A and B are shown apart, each in its own frame.
Chain A
Amino acid sequence: MITDENGELPTFTGTDEYIVSESLVSAVNAAVVLQRPLLVKGEPGTGKTLLAEAIAQGLGLPLLSWHIKSTTRAQDGLYHYDVVQRLNDSRFNDRDVSDIRRYIKMGVLGQAFSAQSRVVVLIDEVDKADLEFPNDLLHELDRMRFRIHELDEEVVARHRPIVIITSNAEKELPDAFLRRCVFHYISFPDKTLMARIVKVHHPHLESQMLDAAIERFYWLRGMNDLKKKPSTSELIDWLAVLARGGVSPDDIARRLPFPGTLLKVEDDHELLGKKLERRFN
């Protein structure tokens, strides 16, 4: 079990800016104590990526991010041996090519393993990569070590990093991978939690205004045929616009000012127009 200098378990309780639910706190702490990767899924805009930043901030550890693309391979996260550069250097004779180490560059996991202190590693949107990608990382994440074949050396983590993996559920993740993870699904915040989240961003907002806006926001999200439902960040933007625009709570309840901040798809605007018309005529 990992303890800090005082021999105590570091526990995560969220930060001033990042409000977490009880179940998420429980999942994070389980992942930290059991030293397993935490897999976070959820709708877009529920703060999956921000969680890693909040954990790093909350526990006072540095954060290393690895953003996955469709072309990312597991090897990229470990190390990269730049053969082409070395070949090029050897042809033009302008650098010492005898030292292979100069051409080995650590990836994010490589850096995390060789770091002097414990770090938080974010593997963002793991489902963007090939289906086999998570399986290729299994061993490294499990044992927290890998081999650099070119040097015939092993990189072993001095301090097991806290690994946070996010997924948008675009692809199914392999079972073997899931078995090793602590899993949490961030569901969309309920009204009370949302009010707390919004207050962090707009501390001076009148509660009447806040209530009206949140009420309206959930009404909008409740429309099932929306192509793209507005998320938390859109609500926060919308409130900023409302405050600037000098809109009263009554206005929010009666019509829906500045819908462009909330709805980003043209069809949704049409739908909203029809709904509002029906409601007030």
Chain B
Amino acid sequence: MSETRILEISGVTKLFGGLAALKDVSLEVAPGEIKGIIGPNGAGKTTLFDVLTGILTPTEGRVLFKGRDLIGMRPDQITAMGMIRTFQTIQLFAGMTVLENAMVGCHSQTRSGFLATSLRTPGARREEKEIIEDAHAVLKEVGLGTRAHETGTNLPYGQQRMLELARALASRPEILLLDEPAAGLNQYETGELSELLSGLRDRGLTILLVEHDMGLVMSVSDEVVVLDYGEIIAQGSPEDVQNDPRVIEAYLGIEAD
């Protein structure tokens, strides 16, 4: 039973004052699938990610990740459980090299505190060595292997997005939440991203993909969910969703007959 659902969102509502950013959203995610989440601006996609990662507490509802309720847990605890996100507006760490950014991603996998690191205990040194190796490995995976020692925020925009992805992968997640990873990428870079995502899924990673680039969403997603005004209005295979009259209405604003 638990094998078929890694993430179970049931009846999640989030009110901001009187405004419902999410209305009774229920969603099930199977392990190893890529689920695309689309919808017009302001549909509640990022709010959903904020609820999943513990940044926002929902007004109502439940989120089960690997059978455990996430509501009330801190963001870092959720990350440690194996769910990590990237941000729509790039949030790289200023003044850090590409490598160091990726190394922060290893934080949840490591333990050394103030005392151990200040004394450079054998354990802390071993960890540091592993962190450097892991960070190099994920940078190589996203194609940033040669830029490890440049300042992260000096990279071209597309590569900054890839660095965010690498930093998330460094935490060895089970679910990856990507918030518009293709925004600002050129066609070539989007193609590479698409290949990368498929590769990650083939390795068993589960991905929730919020994205406006329909070409990308429809080509990599196993299933697509459409949000509009905080509600799920359609859900299904990419083909079904594309032909759903309510989806067309939401996007084009045409009254469905």
A binds B: no
| Residues in chain A within 8 A of chain B (CB atoms) | none
